[in-house]
Every structure is written in structure tokens, then in C-alpha cells.
A = this chain, B = another copy of it.
């Protein structure tokens, strides 16, 4: 659809897309694991066979990006090459190897009344996925959605429109060959920005929306969506170095958490240090991290120890820098550390470094975050690292999925009650 269409055209297009997705989702319920896996393997094969046409489509996106004023980082995310496309194909084929969550029997019992009660895992239905301009995400998301029995509506960044379309065409053609309804995988093709708003109203047909991108986009989706939203706003992740920390482990863990990849949501942003070891640990840390040219935003106590800290403002404690800056807070006790992290954190990933098992247990119990890490890097909070196999997003909510979200997190359950003429007395 071109963007010259009228508002009501767009609304009708969104409604028709959502209704087709809902219709397809009912057919997905009857698919066997084998059919879904054959689709995944065939899609991977077709992607490998069509590397050249995907590259041509990507080339058009890249040429338009030159005029679109994208940053180098954005262009790098947009750009595909032979190797990246083979990685996409491999990623899809891997999803075929994961266990099928659908129809898993979660609980079963025969009740005193004589009825049999089964709690069975079932797909959510239709997932609406809004994401940034990364063509690889298109394929990953479709693979995860369909393997977990859901239809997916894809809304990628417009900069990647041609690359995403090429990918979706391959996935749909493969679906058609296997006998899976092509409407299970649909790409929103209009550039009209009202489309997202229309789709967010259609809770009768769409069961879940997953927005990925900047905080502004996510807040807009949360405020407009009538269906549940799976999301995280940011990742202000903490490492707390306890009084009983092994400081050499602490150095490695802070370095890895902060510096291995600074621009990601599970990178450390805030360091919390127990006062009893602060004057030993902080100077060691500064020397250790010298190559990274970190700026330290410190509280008063840390200021007296650090050689060139800047005074932190209140807003620093909740900031996600995504770059070479960290906040540093010195606390009097484990309780104060927990208080600080629960107050200013994102409920994403928080780590403690300690050799004291009682402190570790208390921290794990009382930190209200999706992942609580003991003596390891915050960077481990990732679907692949935690063993989910494939990930469509991370949730910092408690309702319903928390942490990295893969196949299982795109399912719900229903009760199946079986009687033989049983009535309630």
C-alpha cells in the first residue's frame, strides 16, 4: 500500500490484516510439530537458495538509507551480507530443533467428582511485533511465533522495508508449500504512521503486542494498546560489590558487565559498593578499566575515593547510559544496596559479588528483578545464555512473562475438563 491512501483505507487494511491473522491462528492449532519444523527447515533452505535476491532487496534499502540520513550504526544494522544471511537461515533451522511448547500437559488430575481436569499449554493466538530496522529480526520473530502456534503481524522499521519484504515472501512461500496458511506471517507494508495506532485497538483479533525500539515508541504502545504488551523500557542494571566480595572476581565481573558491549540492555550502568571495601576496590577498578575511558558519576563518599569522579545528580541513579559512563554509589549495608537497586533499577538484571552465602541468598530473594545474578556478569541475561534457545524480547514486567521471552512465553494454557455426563451436585 502506498502512503497516499486515506485514513479509512488504512483502517480497513489493518482490520483485514488482523482478521486474516486470527483466522490463520485457528488453523495453526491443528498443525503437528513435524509440520512446523518442516516449514522452518524449508524456510532456511530457501533463504540459503535466495541469498542474491535478498542482497538485491537489501541494496535498495541501503541506497535509500544514504538519502535518509541514517547513522553509521543504523546502516550497519541494516546491512546484510552473505555471511549474515546464512546466519539468519541457521537461526531459523535451530528453532526447528527446539521442543514444541504447544499441547504440553502442565497438570492433570481426576477430581473427587469424577471429572478429569487437564491444564494444557496453548498458543496465545496472534502476536503483533513492532521492531527496529534489522532484517534478521523479521525471520527470527516469524520462526518463534509460528513454532509456538501463533500468527504474527510484523511491523519493521521502514528503512528495512525491501529486505523484510524479501524475507517474508520466502517464509510465506515455504508455508504455502507445507500447507501452513500464509496469513500466519503478514508484513504491514504501509508507511502510514497511523497503522500502528489502528492495530493497537484490535484486541478482538490481536492477543499480544511486542514493541522493540526506543523508549518513546514503547511508551506510546503501552498507552494506546488495548491488548497486553510484552516489553522492557530500559536496562539500568546494577553490580553490587559486597563487603565479602572476592575483589578479583569483582573486577572481572564489573569489566565484563559494563564494557563487553556497552550499547545493550543487559550491560551494567550502575555500580554499588559496600563502604567497607570501597576505598580498596574503587582505585583498583579505575586502574583496571583505564583502557575504556569510563566517566564515573559518583555519590559523595565515592567522590572522595575516585581520582576524577563527577558528582552524580539524582537522575543519574536511574539512567541507562549505553556508553562509557557509570554511576557509583557507596552503601553502608546490604539492606541499603537492595533498597537502592529496587528503587532506581529497571527490574531487568542485577548482580551481587560476594563470598557470603547469607548475603547472596538475601540479595537473590529481595531484589525484585527478572534476573538476579550471583558472582557472574549481568551480560548472561539473554535467551541464548539462559537456555531458552531463541528470544523475541525481554520482559521486565511480572505479568505474564518475565526475563527473556522465547517459545514458551508466547503461550498460555487452558483447562480441558472431561466427563461422561457429569453434573455438579
Contacts and interface: CB of A to CB of B under 8 A. Distances in A.
Interface of A: 26, 29-30, 109, 111, 113, 115, 117, 124-125, 207-208, 228, 246, 248-249, 252-253, 255-256, 260, 362, 364-366, 368-377, 379-381, 385-387, 397-403, 412-424
A423 B253 contact: yes
Given A253-B421, A256-B424, A415 B377 contact: no
A403 B422 contact: no
Nearest to A254: B423
B379 A424 contact: yes
Given A366-B26, A369-B414, A414-B371, A400 B401 contact: yes
Given A374-B419, A419-B373, A402 B412 contact: yes
A374 B124 contact: no
Nearest to A118: B364
A243 to B, nearest CB: 17
A96 B248 CA distance: 47
A349 to B, nearest CB: 8
Nearest to A25: B368
A57 B370 CA distance: 44
Given A373-B417, A424-B380, A400 B400 contact: yes
A124 B399 contact: yes
Contact of A420 (B249, B399, B417): B249
Q: Which of A380, A398, A402, A419 has the most CB of B within 10 A?
A: A398
B111 A398 contact: no
A364 B402 contact: no
13 contacts: A29-B365, A113-B380, A249-B420, A260-B423, A364-B416, A370-B415, A371-B414, A375-B418, A376-B418, A376-B423, A385-B424, A386-B415, A403-B414
A375 B421 contact: yes
Interface of A is mostly: mixed
B111 A386 contact: yes
A422 B380 contact: yes
A35 to B, nearest CB: 15
A137 to B, nearest CB: 21
A256 B424 CA distance: 7
A421 B366 contact: no
- Shortest beta-carbon contacts, A-B, top 3: A400-B400, A376-B419, A256-B423
Contacts of A398: 124-125, 207, 412
A336 to B, nearest CB: 13
Contacts of A376: 115, 417-423
A88 to B, nearest CB: 22
A208 B375 contact: no
B249 A421 contact: yes
A213 B331 CA distance: 46
Contacts of A421: 246, 248-249, 252-253, 375-376
A359 to B, nearest CB: 14
Contacts of A115: 376, 380, 385
Nearest to A355: B420
Contacts of A372: 414-417
A418 B374 contact: yes
Contacts of A413: 402
A30 B399 CA distance: 22
A352 to B, nearest CB: 11
A61 to B, nearest CB: 31
A17 B118 CA distance: 40
A288 to B, nearest CB: 13
Contacts of A365: 29-30
Contacts of A260: 423-424
A268 B318 CA distance: 51
A418 to B, nearest CB: 5
Contacts of A414: 369-372, 402-403
A251 to B, nearest CB: 10
